[in-house]
Amino acid sequence: MSTNLPTLRQLQFLIVLAEHGNFSRAAEAAHVTQPTLSAGIKELESSLGAILVERGARGASLTPAGEAAVVRARTILTEAEDLVHAARAAGEPLTGQFRLGVIPTIAPFLLPRVLPALSSTFSGLELFLREDLTHRLVEALKERRLDAALIALPYEAAGIETRSIAMDEFLFAAPLDHALAGEKRLTPAMLAEEPLLLLEDGHCLRDHALSVCSASQSASGPGASRADAARSDFAATSLHTLVQMVRSGLGATVLPKLAVDGGLVDGLGLSVRPFDPPVAGREIGMAWRRGSARADEAARLADAVRDALKG
């Protein structure tokens, strides 16, 4: 076997240089001096027998060979990380760093309820949290930049496995003087003629809410289309903005019970009520990359979150 192989540290230097395009900023991000980083890149080029970086007054740019090397370097580093995680999990699961993504309509309401329990159950676990939209979290899972993610289900994506954690019921929210606020019975089908205030495109909660309304309308006969169920002139970027829009009298909406139980509408003077059975809503679940070295840990973490929510 050749002894002139690149080191993991050299590959890390190449990746961080590719990300920053500048030796000074890359050295700062890697927590080394610039001469150390520069020497590491030169040693890597010597090991591979190719020029990877073009150095210029305006910074550093990758050669074609450098771009190809970065792709392989990322794969090698993630495989090395998987090796460490697999060995650690075999001895003591859910210890050390665990990178967990959470969607914005779940994070501020679920995490305060479950993090203390997780910290108590897994004292050696160090959670690194990232809040983002579902499609970006799933991409991060596929690229091995996250170990697992708390998302809303159903969500189908190739190469991704999920485990259901809990049902999150949808509730109707409107100003107190809204026409539907005083109805004795309330079903999603009754929203057929009620353009809803919803989150902007990209939030899965918007799609799930529209799906519930669309399915109810189809079951009860002709009505507004799925596209007509949402107001096109207003779209919120967060649930907190959404309820303020409702409070201002701009219309009604559908909210997840998890957020309502988490205090989202406290003190706003809104009418918030459940729909008649059967319960309409979304599932909260854990997602991870199929074949991940941390798949068993992700599943175990999902079970722990479920238990924490029940407690």
* Cα three-residue angle 217-218-222, rounded to 5 degrees: 75
133 CB burial (10 A radius; 0-12, 13-18, 19+)? middle
pLDDT digits (tens, 9 = 90+) for 192-242: 778 888 888 878 888 888 877 665 444 444 444 444 555 555 778 899 999
pLDDT digits (tens, 9 = 90+) for 247-279: 999 989 999 999 999 999 999 999 999 999 888
pLDDT digits (tens, 9 = 90+) for 73-120: 988 887 887 777 666 666 567 888 899 999 999 999 999 999 999 999
pLDDT score at 230: 55
Q: How many residues does the chain have?
A: 311
* Cα three-residue angle 160-166-172, rounded to 5 degrees: 110
Rounded CA-CA distance 53/67 in Å is: 9
pLDDT score at 297: 92
pLDDT score at 67: 93
pLDDT score at 218: 46
Residue 287 confidence class, pLDDT cut points 50, 70, 90: very high
Interval 45-53 mean pLDDT: 92
Q: End-to-end alpha-carbon separation of the chain, Å?
A: 55
pLDDT digits (tens, 9 = 90+) for 133-171: 999 999 999 988 899 999 999 888 899 999 999 999 999
Quick check: helix, strand or coil at residue 189?
A: helix
